[in-house]
Amino acid sequence: MIRLSTKGRYGTRLMVNLARHHKNSNEPTILKNVSEEEGISIRYLEQIIIPLKINRLVKSIRGAGGGYILARKPTDIKICDILYALEGSCSLVECIEDETFCEKVKTCGTYEIWKGANDLLRGYFEKMTLQDALEICEKKIADAKKKTKVK
């Protein structure tokens, strides 16, 4: 499948969640809350957030009253950064980032197909920031609320 792994999906949701909390308060967000809101187990979130921390997209604060905060402003975090941190790549197929991955690259009848698709995707994820995602998300929720009010 052309598929985004759960790491990539959950990790991005985690980041959007942090961004939303961040907007409302400066206190660190605890994974317990993210877990409840997103329906993803704490244990799994703990694993997923490690590469985000290593790649300095979030900062952790240990101990009671601790949690996680974004390391930079949402405008300065690209979705591509998140995916790269989580996957070690932002590519559709490995041969594009790692020429040694497949010896047939030079004659492969499909390399250019994937390359084209990959460039499309990369452009898309390079342009989109966490702030953009946040705005799309807030708008969506606002619209949903409006709808229920009308009822």
Partner DNA sequence: AATATTTCAACATAAATTTATAGGAATTAT
Partner DNA sequence: ATAATTCCTATAAATTTATGTTGAAATATT
Would you tell me which residues interact with DNA (CB under 7 A)?
1, 5-7, 10, 28-32, 40-44, 46-47, 49-50, 53, 60-68
Report what 20 binds from DNA, its own copies, none; CB cut-off 5-8 Å by kind. Answer: its own copies
Q: Which residues have a Cβ under 8 Å from the Cβ of 86 and sit 6 or more positions away?
A: 5, 7, 8, 11, 48, 51, 52
| Interface map 87-106 toward its own copies (x if CB under 8 A) | xxxxxxxx--------xx-x
Q: What is the CA radius of gyration of the chain?
A: 18
- Give the integer Cα–Cα distance in Å for 113 and 128: 23
| Residue 114 is a binding residue for its own copies (CB under 8 A) | yes
- Give the integer Cα–Cα distance in Å for 92 and 80: 13
What's CA 30's distance to the chain center, in Å? 17
Q: Which residue has 């759960």 as its token pair? A: 6
- One residue of 24, 112, 148, 151 binding its own copies per CB under 8 A: 112
- Give the integer Cα–Cα distance in Å for 114 and 92: 7
- One residue of 107, 148, 149, 150 binding its own copies per CB under 8 A: 107
Report what 136 binds from DNA, its own copies, none; CB cut-off 5-8 Å by kind. Answer: its own copies
User: Which residues form the interface with its own copies (CB under 8 A)?
Assistant: 1-5, 7-9, 12-13, 16-17, 20, 38-39, 79, 83, 87-94, 103-104, 106-110, 112-114, 116-117, 120-121, 124-125, 128, 133-134, 136-137, 140-141, 144
